[in-house]
Structure 1
Amino acid sequence: MRILHTGDWHLGRTLLGADLLAHQATFTDFLVETVRARGVDLVVIAGDVYDRAIPPVDAVRMLSRTLERLAATATVVLTPGNHDSAGRLGFGSGVMHDRVRILAEPTSIGTPVLLTDDDGPVAVYGIPYLHPDLTRHALAAVPDEPLARSHQAVLGAATDRVRADLATRPGTRSVVVAHAFVGGAEPSDSEQDIRVGGVDMVAASVFDGIDLVALGHLHGPQRVGPDDRIRYAGSPLAFSFGERHQRKSVTVVDLAADGSVTVELVPTPVPRRLVDVRATIAEIESGAHRADADAWVRVAVTDAVHPERMYARVKDHLPHALAITHEPADRPERPAARPVTATSDPVEVAADFVAFATGTAPDDDDRAVLTEAYEAAALAMHDDRGR
């Protein structure tokens, strides 16, 4: 069976204020053509199709049209990610076309989509993003005995349900589509924090016994472990300058009769490159960076004195510049502030602020309060997304 693995589309996202929807449309056109040209049987989309729980109308229309086009030639299985609202994304899943299956309900994780090819049956299980506080009761094996408050516990319970169902289907190959942060993989700087109790990762061993694990959440395409059995497809576009060197792709997997996999990474289109430029205003105006005029650029102007009309002069030569700052090359070195990115620990960011505002680092009691406040806010956010 030929499977195309993708995810983390983040439809409706912007990049430093720049609308990405037209570039995302370029990707979805490429995706549909790739599925047709390569004879793909199954498309799996591992979450974060939208960038937020209530996406823009244009993003909803794009997803609807893309699923319709994909379903003309392949079966599509989609699971929600931490950016999606599982309730909204999964609405109507029970009455959808057989070729489009949205697996959004945690308590139905052990019920697969069953497909068949010349080599026999394939069971496809969807594991949506599982927030421990929202699923530790629903996934508990014993009523009134909730699971531990961790990603490892809830994802382990989910895959136990998968293995229990597989045990009733001898000779069936297995595919799990999941949205999670699995240990051994490298994050980027644009994924949203999902940690609870300071822990966000799960062990790859949680997927033991599964033939193919198609993951979403991390934006860099990569495998987890020594072979291609567990993989992140990565995002189809760069969503931050920190991702500018990643080679974005979709993953085409051939699942053999014995459950082994062969993988090919198919590069996705790059509608506009991301480039960093550090130069004086004279160097920029000389045309030294004219090759980057069509790129999205983050510009640091290094003149000793702030140039007059700096922003307008840079934009004259680099019209797609998204960030323009003045960083004199001879400025005295200052201790670098710890950068805050999507992968920063929110509690550590808050602790840094407390130290800055009070002149004293928070003690253990202060950190406990910060942790409790952050986790309450994160739970409220995810609970709202599920409504």
Structure 2
Amino acid sequence: MKILHLADVHIDEKKTVNGKIIYDEEGINIRLKDLLDCISQVKNTAEKENVSLTLIAGDLFERKTPTPFETYTATKVLSELGSICPVVLTPGNHDAVDSVKALGFIKNIYVPEPFTPIRFSDITIFCVPYPDLKEGSRSEVKQLYERKILETSKKLKENSNFLVALCHAPVEGASYPTTDRDVNEVTLSPSCFKHLDYAALGHIHKPQRIENIYYPGSVDTWRRQEADEEKGFYIIDTDTHEVTFYPITTRPVHNLNFTIDTIPLVINVLEQSIVRIEIEVPEERAGDYDPVRVQNVIAGNPLDVKIIPRIIRTQRMRCQEIVQAKNFNEIITTYMKNKKLPEEKINRIREKIMELVRKKELEAKLC
């Protein structure tokens, strides 16, 4: 029997490209269409591989109060997946429990209560909700969830040929695609999943395995920081316990960084890609920055390009040697040496400054 495991769908009709919504000629958000194309790839593989069960490990929606169109889209997606095989899903931290439960009316769609087993042939599944800090302190919630996972899995394992936990939560040792992880959320120990044949997790948008714990990552690129992360899903063969990752082809996203002096003559990007270019510009050279010049060297017909100048502010120098300088000449020399100017240039500038100082002193005497 084969199980398909995906997570973090994030249905969002307001999904943006470089911070703005781009519509096609039919008035449909292009990035939402991208997501539906990703789901279509999942569906096609499920049919081809004769999958018997699909698991969705949370964050079906982007926000807790989905719009009517987002709910319609979710209904359509689940109906298509459910036409192939039963689908079990659990809410994530982006989902409202009631919004996900309401989808249980769809044929072949199941939203079990937390820690309540559901069986399909010789497979037993129980769902673990996102650890909620409303239930206590972080350490208390961590202990509570780890204990419940251990107790539930140990009890069910006795009568299960293949036991799965469907969970939306971070696990210790997991790698994040970005540095913006929530340090306040509850992170579970991998050891609490030790009685399981397979832990189907969601929440972290980076495909990875930690012992018997699997994160497939998000279905599509959720934010630009995930540009280099592979997207996809897993298929598990319960007879052989073999787990295979199936990549999803997504719209290319380019994050490019240059200084004002290293902008290439041609910037090649993939067709219909999303491009974000950051140009580092020293404050004193802000007048040299020309976004049109950058735009003109881009080749490859991207969907959208956003060019961002990052102005490097000149910092005031706080140098103990300057404070201790005995005269104006020493102050000038020390300052320029700390600016790492060549000796020849320092001498030339110092002479010019001292010439101006002498001129001002002479003018003052004449007055």
Alignment TM class, shorter chain as reference:
0.7 to 0.9
Relative to structure 1, the CA distance from residue 190 to residue 216 in structure 2 (aligned partners, 3 Å threshold; closer, same or farther) is: farther
Is 1:264 the counterpart of 2:244 in the alignment? Answer: yes
Alignment match, 2:72 = 61
CA distance in 1, matches of 2:90, 2:17: 24
Partner of residue 39, structure 1? 50
**TM-score (ref. length: structure 2):** 0.72
**Secondary structure of the structure 2 residue equivalent to 1:264:** strand
Separation of aligned partners in 1, 2:232 and 2:261: 36
Match among 95, 107, 111 for residue 102 of structure 1: 111
Aligned pairs for 1:67-106 within 5 A? 67-91=78-102, 93=104, 95-97=105-107, 99-103=108-112, 105-106=113-114
What's the counterpart of residue 167 of structure 2?
178
> Offset at 1:217?
0.7
- Name the CA distance, whole Å, in 2 between partners of 1:38 and 1:82: 30
Cα deviation, residue 170, structure 1 = 2.3
Distance, in Å, in 2 between the alignment partners of 1:301 and 1:182 is 36
Distance (Å, rounded) in 1 between the aligned partners of 2:66 and 2:123: 33
Q: Which amino acid aligns with 1:124?
A: I
Question: 13-22 or 234-243: which moved more?
Answer: 13-22
C-alpha separation in 1, matches of 2:296 and 2:85: 47
User: Partner of 1:17 in structure 2?
Assistant: 19
User: Does the 8 A contact of 1:301 with 1:327 survive in 2?
Assistant: yes
Shift of 1:320: 4.5
User: Between the two proteins, what is the percent identity of the paired residues?
Assistant: 24
Asked whether 1:50 is paired with 2:40, we answer no
Equivalent positions of 1:176-325 (< 5 A) are: 176-189=165-178, 193=182, 195-196=184-185, 200-225=186-211, 229-256=212-239, 261-278=241-258, 280=260, 283=263, 286=265, 288-292=266-270, 294-302=272-280, 305-306=285-286, 310-311=290-291, 314-315=294-295, 318=298, 320-321=303-304, 323-325=306-308
Asked whether the 8 Å contact 1:112–1:125 carries over to 2, the reply is yes
The answer to whether the 8 Å contact 1:15/1:240 transfers is no
In 1, Cα distance between equivalents of 2:180 and 2:262:
37
CA distance in 2: counterparts of 1:90 and 1:298, whole angstroms: 38
Task: Specify whether residues 302 and 180 from structure 1 end up closer, same or farther in structure 2 by C-alpha distance, changes over 3 A only.
Answer: closer
Q: Which residue of 1 aligns with 2:7?
A: 7
- The amino acid that maps onto 2:127 is G
Which blocks of at least 5 consecutive residues in structure 1 are unaligned?
Answer: 137-146, 335-387
* Contact in 1 for aligned 2:103/2:109 (Cα 8 Å): no
Structure 1 match to 2:146: 156
Per the TM alignment, residue 294 of structure 1 is displaced from its structure 2 partner at its CA by 3.4
Match of 1:377 in 2: none
Does residue 124 of structure 1 match 2:125?
A: yes
Distance 1:289 1:173 in 2: 51
Aligned-pair Cα RMSD in Å:
3.1
Q: Name the CA distance, whole Å, in 2 between partners of 1:83 and 1:8.
A: 9
Deviation for aligned residue 1:102? 1.6
Distance 1:245 1:158, change over 3 A: same
d(CA) in 2 for partners of 1:282, 1:183:
40
Amino acid in the other structure paired with 1:100: I
Aligned length: 301
| Distance (Å, rounded) in 2 between the aligned partners of 1:250 and 1:239 | 15
Q: For 1:25, give the aligned amino acid.
A: L
How far has the Cα of 1:27 moved from its partner? Answer: 0.5
Structure 2 CA distance for aligned equivalents of residues 163 and 32 of structure 1: 30
Q: Which amino acid aligns with 2:222?
A: F
CA separation of 1:322 and 1:217: change in aligned 2, threshold 3 A: farther
- Partners of 2:19 and 2:272 lie apart in 1 by 17
Mean alpha-carbon deviation: is it higher for 24-33 or for 272-281?
A: 272-281
Letter of the structure 2 residue corresponding to residue 298 of structure 1:
R
- In the alignment, the residues of structure 2 paired with residue 237 and residue 132 of structure 1 have an alpha-carbon distance, to the nearest angstrom, of 28
User: Partners of 1:252 and 1:191 in 2: how far apart?
Assistant: 29
CA shift, 1:206, in A, is 0.7
For 2:237 and 2:293, the matched residues in 1 are separated by 52
Structure 2 SS opposite 1:91: helix
Which of these two proteins has the greater Rg computed from alpha carbons? 2
Alpha-carbon distance in structure 1 between the residues aligned to 2:277 and 2:216: 30
Cα distance in 1 for partners of 2:34, 2:199 equals 28
Q: Which runs of 5+ in 2 are unaligned?
A: 22-30, 317-367
